[in-house]
Structure formats: structure tokens, C-alpha cells
Amino acid sequence: MTYTPLRPAPGAPPVRVNLYSDTQTRPTPAMKAAMMEAEMGDEQSGLDPTVNALCDRMAALMGTEAAVFLPSGTMCNQIAIRVHCTQGDAILAHRTAHILTSEGGGVGALTGAQIMGLDGEGGQFAPETLEAAIWQPSRNAPPLTLVSVEQTANLGGGTIWNTNTLHRVADIAHAHGMKTHMDGARLLNATVATGIAPHEMTAGYDSVWLDFTKGLGAPLGAVLCGTTDFIDRAWRWKQRLGGALRQAGMNAASCLHALDHHVERLADDHANASALARGLQQIEGITLDAPETNLVFFSVEGLHTTAPAFAKALRDRGILVSVMGPHRVRACTHLDVDASGIDLALTEIRAAAAHFADRKIHATVA
């Protein structure tokens, strides 16, 4: 997997539609106002009322005892893994999981554990696959200590784990003495799409977190949730990895604003993703699966070009997408992309596709 550089080449036109990632969202004026009005205090001492309110609310939302405010989702993953595991341990996760593909080898560097990648369609593994992957304890094998899932599955296409499957995975893990962790970067996309409450999806998971910097539109922040003992231990690792956020109420206020105002509107992102997918399906040479949430993955192999070349052609037209493989492109809908932005993106994608199709015809004739 590769990522398209965001820094434009000299002379590149302004970005007109940013479909690179939902991490590109910017705080709305109302969110900025909430941040400016936030009460603040020393977060490390438990004296920041806005951070405390956010953590209490998140624990209730996820059905856990406690929560801790952290700068990023990756930090949530790494701290959770460091609490659950130690050097030499093994973790079972899908082979495309964010903790394996996109966190700089943090699991090996910070915990000294290894991730065993499991196969499965759409970024998900079946309970039967998990069961088959679990080995008997042996002095020759690393201890299996953790099972991790990702809701939604990013590289799987933004797919939604079925709640019953999630529960079966958790039951299997616990039956074998393992802990369970949910990377909930886009968990609320899944709950909005299905109508299932977050605490129902997360039931049976020993740790779970939610990212506020993606579709929810906050500039910073994620919240890691678990038992009181787990969060106490997570706090120690937060301290070791950088310490307290001090007067963090301003950032926590943006997250609370997002919970109040930006959750239900995730359905708009899903509708825009579906509209984008319908338009892409009408373009000869482009293939894709229907999106389940706000991530649209499509292949340009049928245009006889590469994903980097296609992404560059779009960037030259003011449309930003991300490259996820030799021929795989990702377009991500979010707070800063409306229906008119989708129409504009489709117009430019059609033009770029026609350019590559014409180039193929000329090459064939020559």
C-alpha cells in the first residue's frame, strides 16, 4: 500500500474536491466556537472538566467503565496493545489491519510483539479462520495474547463487521484465554449505517477506541475505552509515550461537539459515497464493489494505467484521491465534500478515464 503525496507539484491547480481521506476534514465554525468557549484545567490531575465530560460520555457510549483522551487513533492502538501484550507475544488480526500495515511497525518497536495476519474477504476474517489459526500453548511457540478487529475495515473497502460475527470472534478469543481489541477508527460509520448502538457492537471487547479526526471532523483526538484497571495501565503508557495533554479541554470540546452534531450526518457521507460509486460504475475501464460506508475503492487496471498515474491525472484536474496499490484507488467522502463535489469529481474522473482510453487506442493504432 502506498499513499499519494499531499504536497502538490509546482504549478498544480488548487484542490477543488479532496477525496484523499476523511482525515482531511476541517473544524466547522460552530466547532471552533465550542473550542474557544471550553472550560479547561490540568488534564493529568483530572482537573479538566471538558476532558472528563468527554471520557465519561465515551465510556457510556461504548459500555465500558472508563476512558482516556489521546491525541490519535494510532496512539490508542499502540497503547492498548502495550497494555495487553508483552515482548514475544503474538497477536491475531487481519493481514490488512491498520496495526500491521500503517503504524510504522509500532507493535514490534514498542511492544516487541508480532502480528499474525489472517485471510478473509473485505478486511475481515471469519470466526472459523480465527479458530483454525489458534495453536496449542507450547514452549516453542509465542503466547497468543490478543485478537484485534477493525470496524470499519479500511483496506477491506470500508466494510462493516456483522455484530454477531464480532461477538463470536470475542467469544473464541476469550475461550482461549486471549484479550480482544477493537480498532474503532470509523466505528460510528458502522453504527450509523446499521442502526446498531456502539455498545452493542463493542460488547465482548476488552478495549475499543473512537477517532474524532476522521468523519467526525475534529482537529485532534481519540478516546480509548476499557475497564478501570485497563485505563489506569493505559495512563502509565500515555505518560511514558509523551505525557499529559494538560489544558486539553479545547480539543475535547471539539470532540463533544462532534458527538452532538456530526454523528447523524455520517449518513450523508455514505449517500455521497454511493452516488460516487454509481457514477464510477458507468465509466468503462473502472471496476469496483459497492461501498458499505464512506470509502470507495476502485480499480483502473481496465484503463491500462496505474493508480499513481491516474491519481496524478486527477490531481492535475484539482481532484485528490489516495493510491492503495498498483491499480487500486481510494476515494473517501467526508464532512467537507457535498453532493456538488461528488458531481464535480465524477466529471473530472470521466475526463481522466477518457484520456487514458484515448491513449490506449492511439498506442494500438500505432
CA dist., res. 146 & res. 207, Å (int): 11
Angle between helical axes of 249-261 and 49-62 (0-180°, round to 10): 40
Residues 257 and 277 in one domain: no
Question: Mapping DSSP to helix (H, G, I), strand (E, B) and coil, where does residue 359 land?
Answer: helix
Longest dimension (CA), the chain: 73
Whether residue 191 contacts residue 210, with contact meaning beta carbons closer than 8 Å, is answered with no
**Strand bridging mode 90-94 / 322-323:** unpaired
Whether residue 318 contacts residue 213, with contact meaning beta carbons closer than 8 Å, is answered with no
Q: Select from 261, 291, 323 the last residue of a domain.
A: 261
**Strand bridging mode 144-150 / 207-211:** unpaired
The C-alpha cell at 245 is 495533554
Whole-prediction pTM: 0.94
Domain count, the chain: 2
Residues 55 and 199 in one domain: yes
Reading the chain (366 residues) residue by residue, the pLDDT tens digits are: 555 556 767 778 899 999 999 999 999 999 999 999 999 999 999 999 999 999 999 999 999 999 999 999 999 999 999 999 999 999 999 999 999 999 999 999 999 999 999 999 999 999 999 999 999 999 999 999 999 999 999 999 999 999 999 999 999 999 999 999 999 999 999 999 999 999 999 999 999 999 999 999 999 999 999 999 999 999 999 999 988 888 999 999 999 999 999 999 999 999 999 999 999 999 999 999 999 999 999 999 999 999 999 999 999 999 999 999 999 999 999 999 999 999 999 999 999 999 998 765 545 544
Nearest CA-CA partner of 249 in 48, 66, 34:
48
- The pLDDT, as a whole number, for residue 361 is 53
Residues 125 and 230 in one domain: yes
Residues 221 and 321 in one domain: no
- The pLDDT, as a whole number, for residue 185 is 96
Domain that holds residue 222: 40-261
Residues 246 and 325 in one domain: no
Nearest CA-CA partner of 38 in 263, 262, 247, 261:
247
The C-alpha cell at 35 is 473550542
Ramachandran angles phi, psi of 240, nearest 5°:
-65, -35
Residues 237 and 257 in one domain: yes
